[in-house]
Structure 1
Amino acid sequence: MKKGILLVNLGSPESPTPKDVKTYLGEFLMDERVIDLPYVARAALVKGIILKTRPKASAAAYKKIWWDEGSPLIVISERLQAKVQNVVDYPVALAMRYGTMTIQKGLQELVDKGVEEVFLIPLYPQFAMATTETILVLAEEIRQAHFPNLKIDHLPAFYNKPDYIEVLSNSIKKHLAGKTYDHVLFSYHGVPERHIKKSDVTKSHCKLDGSCCKTPSKAHEFCYRHQCLEVTRLVGEKLGFQDGAFSTSFQSRLGFDPWLQPYTDRTIERLGLEGIKNIAIITPAFVSDCLETLEEIAMEGQELFHEVGGKAFTTVPCLNDEDEWSDLLGKWINNWADSKVK
């Protein structure tokens, strides 16, 4: 069976205009795995409130980080695709969960090249309902409707793979080289607390009580919070960070329901008020820099830190299209392909 690869990232508006941002947000926020409310309640919230107020502000934020080539997330993902293609012998396509670069188009591109078996790679280190799960569910729906003879495998969450931790740690070390920091903050995209409990396959382990993420359980295979904390722990150990000099927080909360804590903005504020003058922020929930890293952290976070007395604010880029990262993806792809011929 001829094999092909589909890289899938989040997506982006077509342009940083309120109209295009509204279209994008409408698709994104109406996903039942992003806002997991019953359809009527979700539509009332998204279409009745959010899409009437948020597109203009979000468009202004996108405009601040937009590149001449287009959306940073898209441009970076395309660069990564090209580098991965250079290190594997299988056709590599790129798709987005939301927007016009659809998963269906990505699969069609591969099928048109004769591909019969696809290795789908969600570009998220950790599993979450609103990232990996929504990609896999949609891909299967598309396969059944349009490509019934196509076989799709996928890369599981790779947050704790030693080779991934090695690549991530090397990248962080490179960007922090020659400098000292009072504190290193690992900031991950937030999710509602209920998503953690919904993803608990044991239906009893996840209590968000501060200890369940450290207690071995089958639930950890799909526990976003555990997986984020593990990345922080593993990288901290790898790089020799001192206890108390690094921590984890969660950003980008929406609405009034409880989300994973501590919140990044409040953590930045607290650290500044406690006298921390020199901080570095790492965002390992993303492999590609995007609105949340370039604007929410690098711009808004820095402004907040300075307002409360902080001085030096450093953001570590995501892995983006670094050679070591594209080579690692190539290694995983080749390992998968080899496993299919044994």
Structure 2
Amino acid sequence: MKKGILLVNLGSPDSPNPKDVKKYLGEFLMDERVIDVPLWARTLLVKGIILNTRPKASAKAYQKIWWEEGSPLIVLSERLQEKVQKQVEYPVALAMRYGSMTIKNGLQDLVDQGCTEIKTIPLYPQFAMATTETIDVLIDELVAEHFPQVTITRTPAFYHRKDYINALSQSIADSLKGVDYEHILFSYHGVPERHIRKSDITNGNCKMNGKCCFKMGSPQHEFCYRHQCEITTVNVAKKLGLKNGTYSTTFQSRLGFDPWLKPYTDRTIEKMGQEGTKKMAIVTPAFVSDCLETLEEIAMEGEEIFHEVGGKEFTVIPCLNERDDFVQVLTNMVEEWANSKKPETV
């Protein structure tokens, strides 16, 4: 059996034009694991409201961050794939959950190279219903329908891998070298609170009070996004020797009116600026590749909010992107899989 690797990221519109953005948003938001309401309600909300109002605004946001080579997320993911390919002996393909770089095409690419045993690596350090799970489910469906000869090995959340924490910590240290700051904000992509409850395999152990996140050994933590975000922050803070009170965890990019994970990033930036914080640094550990949410929502909108309420210095720490130490993390995953070894965790 020939082995192959499939890296999977979120995706991007083909261009920042409203037509392409609308097509992309339609696919993304109609995913039942992104907006997890009945089909009739999701269709009414997405096709009846959102796609008639949001594409133009989103297109303007994409236009602000679009590179000459194309979508930053796509370009950075391609660079990452190329670097990983140079480090491993197996074919490495790249796919996106949404958009024209489909997972089906990614699987087909590997099958065409003779691969029958494929390790899929969703490029999300923390598990979430709207990220890792939707990728895993779609891959299972595609394999059953189109690639029955292929065996899939999934990759679990890697937020607690020692090499990942080391790479993330080093990237923060590198970015803050010589930078004077008062507080580091760890901003993770938000999800509705109901997603946490739906992912609770213990059917009710999660109390959504923030306390059980720090009780180690609970079985629901394997699929608890909030726990995994909180522990990512804790482990990085420990690695960097950050003092209590100089860092915090927040959640960004909420949509709609249902309760989402708190505290919210934008409101925290505003509040801290109002309370006298003048120098803030911000890192986005739920994203491995810089994208709309990091380049526009954080680096542009977040900085604007901070300055409006009196903040002076707003340092945005880049995602891991194609850093060599992150390439090594992915290489280690492949080698562990090929040699049936377990990763070292913290």
Matched residues in 1 for 2:255 and 2:286: separation?
17
Aligned length: 340
Long gaps (5+) in structure 2: 342-346
Q: Which moved more, 1:302-311 or 1:329-338?
A: 329-338
C-alpha RMSD of matched pairs (Å): 0.8
Shift of 1:210: 2.3
1:256 corresponds to which residue?
257
Matched residues in 1 for 2:340 and 2:182: separation?
46
Matched residues in 1 for 2:165 and 2:215: separation?
21
1:314 match: secondary structure = strand
Query: What pairs with 1:104-119 in structure 2 (closer than 5 Å)?
Result: 104-119=104-119
Matched residues in 2 for 1:223 and 1:281: separation?
23
1:15 corresponds to which residue?
15
1:232 corresponds to which residue?
233
- Aligned-residue identity in percent: 69
Query: What pairs with 1:79-118 in structure 2 (closer than 5 Å)?
Result: 79-118=79-118
2:51 corresponds to which residue?
51
Q: Which moved more, 1:205-214 or 1:69-78?
A: 205-214
The letter of the residue matching 1:251 is: Q
1:323 corresponds to which residue?
324
The letter of the residue matching 1:294 is: L
Q: Which moved more, 1:161-170 or 1:256-265?
A: 161-170
Matched residues in 2 for 1:122 and 1:210: separation?
26
Deviations 1:273-330 (A, max 9, x none): 0100000000000000000000000000000000000000000000000111112211
Matched residues in 1 for 2:100 and 2:141: separation?
17
Runs of 4+ in 1 over 6 A off after TM superposition: none
The answer as to 2:109 corresponding to 1:121 is no
Shift of 1:180: 2.3
1:174 corresponds to which residue?
174
1:207 corresponds to which residue?
207
2:344 corresponds to which residue?
none
Long gaps (5+) in structure 1: none
Deviations 1:41-72 (A, max 9, x none): 00000001000000000000000000000000
Deviations 1:163-215 (A, max 9, x none): 11011101111111112211100000000000000000001111111212112
Matched residues in 2 for 1:209 and 1:264: separation?
18
1:222 corresponds to which residue?
223
1:78 match: secondary structure = helix
2:339 match: secondary structure = helix
Matched residues in 2 for 1:210 and 1:224: separation?
12
2:115 match: secondary structure = coil
The letter of the residue matching 1:192 is: P
1:188 corresponds to which residue?
188
TM-score scaled to structure 1, two decimals? 0.99
